[in-house]
């Protein structure tokens, strides 16, 4: 049913896609537009932001772009200010921007640590800090943070894992401090979705990721985006401080279950 975000003013960070195809920022922007939101699309790369802008405008939505590096407070403050300047208020913030980087602890460089933390966690912190006063003026709002199942399962990158776990902590803390002022804060943990961010993987790895999920189907950015529409809209008015996995049941699974399933020995083999 279109119109679930009618007249909501929303910011989506990392609204472009880092390669051909559809990343979560792009998918969220398109579905938000389809549901009636007006959008500020923020990305460090102007070309990527413009690509999403074109798609969003095709949906008939009012939208603008802001080009900013969100890995520092000044970039985040400027992005929030641009949304308020363009649209006069702010109702929804999606902290989607994220990068991969770093690696296991013994190979970690200080530069990788700081960059991944600054972009993945710092951007959510500073965007939230600057968005809250605007949301309070609007009578409340919904903040949605894109974490990852890597927040709760090791995957070989210390800064990525720490930043995504930090995003979950941020979610709960701000949900508690600002819930009484009408601000809801929730978090999505995407699983092994196929987006431009991971497009360099081999076909074999892609197939393994698909088979590991309990549902056995490949997840896309659209799966995350539909969850985002729900958490941004009034349909979730009584939900705050939650972490919602969008992962084909991956986190629900016993560690051995995917292997048994692949051998045809597990439940529903
Ligand atoms: N792809 C997956 O399998 C997966 C799984 C779990 C979580 N996630 C999370 O989903 C989010 C989006 O992932 P995606 O795969 O859609 O990404 P993507 O790489 O397709 O798009 C990310 C966008 O962010 C922009 N960006 C990067 N650094 C920036 C900065 N400093 N300032 C502003 N913009 C910047 C890029 O230009 C790009 O347009 C990330 O937070 C990621 O960690 C992805």
**What CATH code is carried by the domain that includes residue 65?**
3.40.50.720
Confidence of residue 1 (pLDDT cuts 50, 70, 90): very low
* pLDDT at res. 263: 86
Position 72 scores a pLDDT of 98
State which residues form the domain around 161. 9-201+218-252
pLDDT average, residue stretch 240-255: 95
From 23, 30, 40, 145, give the residue whose CB has the most ligand 1 atoms within 8 Å, as the site to mutate: 23
**So what's the pLDDT on residue 268?**
63
Q: Does residue 257 fall inside a structural domain?
A: no
83: exposed, middle or buried (Cβ count in 10 Å: 0-12, 13-18, 19+):
buried
Q: Is residue 206 part of a domain?
A: no
Q: What is the DSSP letter of 216?
A: -
In a domain, residue 209? The reply is no
Among the residue ranges 78-82, 179-183, 236-240, 264-268, the one predicted with the least confidence is 264-268
Catalytic residue status for 194: no
C-alpha angle 115-206-109 in degrees, rounded to nearest 5: 20
pLDDT at 60 over 70: yes
- For residues 241 and 186, the answer to whether their CB atoms sit within 8 Å is yes
Please give the distance, rounded to the nearest whole angstrom, from the Cα atom of residue 264 to the centre of ligand 1: 35
Q: Is residue 39 part of a domain?
A: yes
> Would you state the pLDDT for residue 73?
98
Q: Is 97 a domain residue?
A: yes
Is 263 inside any structural domain? no
pLDDT attached to residue 259: 84
Flag whether 261 is in a domain. no
Say which of 12, 38, 160, 170 is annotated catalytic: 160
Q: Exposed, middle or buried: residue 12 (CB in 10 Å: 0-12, 13-18, 19+)?
A: buried
Number of domains, the chain: 1
Residues 61-79 have pLDDT tens digits of: 999 999 999 999 999 999 9
Residue 262 binned pLDDT confidence (cut-offs 50, 70, 90): confident
Mean pLDDT (whole number) for 137-162: 97
Q: What is the pLDDT of residues 88-133, one digit of tens each?
A: 999 999 999 999 999 899 999 999 999 999 999 999 999 999 999 9
Is 111 part of any domain?
yes
Q: What burial class does residue 180 get, using C-beta atoms within 10 Å of its C-beta: 0-12 exposed, 13-18 middle, 19+ buried?
A: exposed
Residues with CB under 6 A from ligand 1: 14, 16-18, 23-25, 43-45, 48, 69-71, 96-99, 119, 146, 148, 190, 192-193, 195-198, 221
Best of 21, 25, 30, 218 to mutate for ligand 1, by most ligand atoms within 8 A of CB?
25
Q: Which of 41-50, 184-193, 205-214 has the lowest mean pLDDT?
A: 205-214
């Amino acid at each position: 049913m279109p119109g679930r975000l009618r007249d909501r003013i929303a910011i989506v960070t990392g609204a472009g896609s880092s390669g051909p195809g559809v990343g979560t920022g792009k998918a969220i922007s398109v579905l938000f537009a389809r549901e009636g939101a007006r959008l500020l699309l923020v990305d460090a790369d102007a070309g990527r932001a413009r690509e999403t802008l074109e798609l969003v405008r095709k949906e008939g939505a009012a939208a603008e772009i802001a080009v900013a590096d969100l890995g520092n407070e000044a970039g985040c403050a400027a992005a929030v200010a641009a949304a308020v300047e363009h649209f006069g208020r702010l109702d929804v913030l999606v902290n989607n921007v994220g990068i991969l980087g770093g690696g296991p602890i013994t190979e970690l460089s200080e530069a990788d640590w700081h960059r991944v933390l600054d972009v993945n966690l710092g951007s959510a912190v500073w965007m939230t800090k600057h968005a809250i006063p605007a949301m309070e003026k609007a009578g409340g709002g919904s903040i949605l943070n894109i974490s990852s199942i890597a927040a709760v399962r090791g995957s070989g990158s210390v800064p990525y894992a720490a930043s995504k776990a930090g995003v979950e902590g941020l979610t709960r803390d701000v949900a508690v401090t600002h819930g009484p002022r009408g601000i809801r804060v929730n978090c999505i943990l995407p699983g092994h979705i196929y987006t431009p961010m991971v497009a360099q993987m081999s076909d074999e790895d892609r197939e393994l990721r698909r088979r590991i999920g309990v549902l056995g189907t490949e997840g896309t950015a659209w799966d995350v985006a539909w969850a985002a529409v729900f958490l941004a809209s009034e349909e979730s008015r009584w939900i705050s401080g939650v972490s919602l996995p969008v992962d084909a049941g991956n986190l629900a699974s016993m560690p051995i279950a995917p292997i048994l399933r692949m051998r045809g020995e597990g439940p529903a083999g």
